């Protein structure tokens, strides 16, 4: 009899269903705590609070004399994060907003600089799981993809306007899509017949364009061939949410946000993000802004990878602000 193997997205959903929010744990949590070394009285920033997996642990460690300042662009995450952080019982501020505004937000609270900062980039499982958010190619829903639904263009609006040439360039740059040209041409042809407004319409166009099957097994046991729409969905999400521009801005202001000796940990999930982080940290070390930093990214251990598929592509890079840098 054939062994039942849930598809990757299904496995993630099963894991989330069996994980009460109270046990929700941030990706690479042990490494984050090791690198940031939060201590009583410290001020820490979580740029991407989500459901407070990292924030709750950090807040517990900085204690009643410390403080956590958290951000999330997605208003849907704020109530759950607030509930979890309130249960920890130490001081915190939570902002519905873009981490690109970190300096202004800290200034509003009279905080000049912080001891530690984390950014766990990209989308959360909660966003992927909700078909109405439009992040998932395997669940039918509105083609939205905005993390902040109070502003900006949806993926459907973007696809209605972008040229085939620009779309192909973005698919190639942001997601290393090998079939970028053919997918971009097919999308533009399809939208001339009817606007593309749902995730399943887009997934079908990509599948037809690439002539590829749905999920299927890799010749290596236990591995899956990526869904043909996976890369396009990734590129669109990055574009819709201006993810690389936001990260570039954060990396620019980071030295001013960290106290001398302060530490930053950034977890990225695709090569475009990782390149930006690596380059900013290395340049910063050359110019004396950063002292110590990770030469190689920290990756999830086998055990975490087995229980949390998202952790498989996670890369954590860290840097310490040089003590004498002004």
Ligand X SMILES: C[S@@+](CC[C@H](N)C(=O)[O-])C[C@H]1O[C@@H](n2cnc3c(N)ncnc32)[C@H](O)[C@@H]1O
Residues binding ligand X (CB under 6 A): 24, 26, 48, 50-54, 71-74, 77, 98-100, 120, 122-124, 147, 246
Q: How far is the CB of 72 from ligand X (least distance, A)?
A: 5
**Residue nearer to ligand X on the CB measure, 229 or 250:** 250
**Residue nearer to ligand X on the CB measure, 38 or 53:** 53
Q: How far is the CB of 110 from ligand X (least distance, A)?
A: 21
Contacts of 242 by beta carbon, 8 Å cutoff, 6+ apart: 152
**Residue nearer to ligand X on the CB measure, 210 or 271:** 271
> Judging by DSSP bridges, how do beta strands 258-268 and 114-120 pair with one another?
parallel
Nearest residue to 92 (alpha-carbon basis) of 33, 23, 38, 30: 38
Query: Do the beta carbons of residue 91 and residue 70 sit within 8 Å?
Result: no
Q: Please identify the residue of the shown chain whose CB is closest to the bound ligand X.
A: 53
Q: How far is the CB of 84 from ligand X (least distance, A)?
A: 9
Q: How far is the CB of 245 from ligand X (least distance, A)?
A: 9
Q: How far is the CB of 249 from ligand X (least distance, A)?
A: 9
Q: How far is the CB of 86 from ligand X (least distance, A)?
A: 15
- Residue 32, burial from CB neighbour count under 10 angstroms (0-12, 13-18, 19+): buried
Task: Render 3-40 in DSSP notation, one character per residue.
Answer: PP---HHHHHHHHHHTS-GGG---TTHHHHHHHH---T
**Residue nearer to ligand X on the CB measure, 51 or 137:** 51
**Residue nearer to ligand X on the CB measure, 26 or 134:** 26
111: region left, alpha or beta (phi > 0 left; psi from -120 to 50 alpha):
beta
**Residue nearer to ligand X on the CB measure, 191 or 315:** 315
CA 274 to chain centre: 11
Query: Do the beta carbons of residue 318 and residue 294 sit within 8 Å?
Result: yes
Query: Do the beta carbons of residue 115 and residue 259 sit within 8 Å?
Result: yes
Q: How far is the CB of 294 from ligand X (least distance, A)?
A: 18
CA dist list (Å): 5 to 2, 219, 274: 9, 15, 31
CA dist list (Å): 100 to 1, 44, 117: 53, 16, 13
**Residue nearer to ligand X on the CB measure, 196 or 318:** 318
**Residue nearer to ligand X on the CB measure, 72 or 144:** 72
Q: How far is the CB of 57 from ligand X (least distance, A)?
A: 9
């Amino acid at each position: 009899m054939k062994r039942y193997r849930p598809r990757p997205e299904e496995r993630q959903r099963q894991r989330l269903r069996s994980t009460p929010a109270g046990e929700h744990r941030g990706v690479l949590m042990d490494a984050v705590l090791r690198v940031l070394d939060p201590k009583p009285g410290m001020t820490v920033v979580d740029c991407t609070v989500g459901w407070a997996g990292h924030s709750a642990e950090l807040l517990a460690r900085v204690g009643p004399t410390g403080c956590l300042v958290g951000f999330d662009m997605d208003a849907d995450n704020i109530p759950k994060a607030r509930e979890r952080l309130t249960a920890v019982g130490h001081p915190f501020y939570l902002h519905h907003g873009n981490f690109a505004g970190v300096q202004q937000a800290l200034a509003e609270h009279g905080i000049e600089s912080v001891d530690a900062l984390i950014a766990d980039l990209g989308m959360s499982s909660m966003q992927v799981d909700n078909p109405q958010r439009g992040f998932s190619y395997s669940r039918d829903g509105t083609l939205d993809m905005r993390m902040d639904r109070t502003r900006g263009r949806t993926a459907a609006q973007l696809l209605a306007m972008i040229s085939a040439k620009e779309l192909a360039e973005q698919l190639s740059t942001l997601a290393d899509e090998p079939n970028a040209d053919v997918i971009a041409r097919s999308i533009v042809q399809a939208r001339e017949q009817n606007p593309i407004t749902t995730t399943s319409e887009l997934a079908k166009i990509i599948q037809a364009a690439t002539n590829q099957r749905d999920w299927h097994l890799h010749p290596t046991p236990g591995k899956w061939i990526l869904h043909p729409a996976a890369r396009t969905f990734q590129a669109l999400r990055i574009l819709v949410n201006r993810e690389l521009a936001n990260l570039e801005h954060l990396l620019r202001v980071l030295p001013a946000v960290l106290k001398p000796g302060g530490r930053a940990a950034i977890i990225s999930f695709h090569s475009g993000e990782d390149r930006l982080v690596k380059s900013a940290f290395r340049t910063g070390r050359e110019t004396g802004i950063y002292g110590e930093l990770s030469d190689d990214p920290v990756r999830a251990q086998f055990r975490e990878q087995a229980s949390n598929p998202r952790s498989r592509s996670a890369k954590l890079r860290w840097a310490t602000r040089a003590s004498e840098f002004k």
